[in-house]
Amino acid sequence: MSITAYVGATHVLFRNYLVYKRSWLVFLSGFIEPVLYLFSIGVGVGQLVTGFEIGGRLVSYTAFVAPAMLALSAFSGSLFDSTFNFFFKLKYEKVYDTIIVTPLSVFDIARGEIIWCVLRSGIYSAGFLAIMAAMGLVQSWWALLAWPATVLIGFAIASIGMALTTFMKSWQDFEFVTLAVTPMTLFSATFFPVTAYPEAVRWILEVTPLYRGVVLCRELTTGTPTLASLVSVVYLVGLGYLGVRIIGRRLERLLLH
């Protein structure tokens, strides 16, 4: 796809920038939660837990939790804009009904919003990765790929989040978002290995996007990449692509029919 296909998306990006430029504290609020998790659980509880084995070597509990919080930063950075904010603009502000009467298309809207979510996710992740490095929690040069990995997480969550949001009818439907996100945050190998669960539960967790992101970030920051990292990359790209296809069709139906 040519670069010119994304020119229209820049107008959507600029519109979001204008909205947020005076509310930058709100923009950065999603970055705080993973940082607090790292210091309260990773560092605090880390004094009581010896650590876990990754790739045949023992890593401290803080080094185990930190990459999971990195993945969570990317996850959070995309989630809010691609669900709650997207729904408000679609159903209440009618932002996209206004945009669609201009030369911009539904695909410009989709691309612009996804890129915005990925940018927000990437900013959160870059800041968190810098904190990890300052704390000595980056243990390998493989960690240079951790930030691009978080971009994939942001892309997958933004795409599938927006796609699912197009099917929502009211704010009550977002109870399902909370119902899905809370268990993923707590149990996607974030605070202890997935091997602690029964095999049936493991199968469910291992197909969630946050788990795949956690595996990818953890193997890169600890310098122990395996086939699981490649599986995670393919999974996140595929999930993002699926979301993009759904968004295009759904926005056409919602805005043009």
More confident residue, 166 or 47: 166
pLDDT of residue 50: 77
With pLDDT > 90 as the criterion, what percentage of the chain qualifies? 43
pLDDT of residue 3: 57
Mean pLDDT of 49-72: 84
- Joined together, the tokens standing for residue 143 give 């960690």
pLDDT of residue 134: 87
**Structural contact between residues 66 and 221, judged by C-beta atoms closer than 8 angstroms:** yes
**Structural contact between residues 193 and 115, judged by C-beta atoms closer than 8 angstroms:** no
Give the list of residues 6+ apart from residue 163 with CB closer than 8 angstroms, or none: 242, 243, 244, 246, 247, 250
At residue 52, φ and ψ (nearest 5 deg) are: -135, 160
**Structural contact between residues 214 and 189, judged by C-beta atoms closer than 8 angstroms:** yes
What confidence tier does 46 reach under pLDDT thresholds 50, 70, 90? low
Burial class, 156, CB count within 10 angstroms (exposed 0-12 / middle 13-18 / buried 19+): buried
Rounded to whole angstroms, what are the CA distances from 223 to 112, 127, 149?
A: 34, 20, 14
pLDDT tens per residue across span 85-131: 999 999 999 999 999 988 888 989 999 999 999 999 998 899 889 88
**Is the pLDDT reported for residue 41 higher than 70?**
yes
Give the list of residues 6+ apart from residue 197 with CB closer than 8 angstroms, or none: 187, 205
Residue 57 pairs with which residues in a beta bridge? 54
pLDDT tens per residue across span 160-211: 999 999 999 999 988 888 888 888 888 888 888 888 888 888 888 899 999 9
- Joined together, the tokens standing for residue 137 give 């929690």
User: Residue 226: how many CB atoms within 10 A of its CB?
Assistant: 11
Query: How many residues are present in the chain?
Result: 257
pLDDT of residue 24: 67
Mean pLDDT of 229-252: 94
**Structural contact between residues 222 and 63, judged by C-beta atoms closer than 8 angstroms:** yes
Mean pLDDT of 212-218: 94
Q: How far is CA 117 from the centre of its chain?
A: 9
pLDDT of residue 199: 85
One-letter identity of residue 223: G
Mean pLDDT of 17-37: 73
Calculate the average pLDDT of the chain: 87
Residue 53 pairs with which residues in a beta bridge? 58
Helix (H, G, I), strand (E, B) or coil at 211: helix
pLDDT tens per residue across span 179-188: 888 888 888 8
Q: What is the dihedral of CA 9, 130, 221, 150, to 10 degrees?
A: -10
What confidence tier does 26 reach under pLDDT thresholds 50, 70, 90? low
pLDDT of residue 200: 84
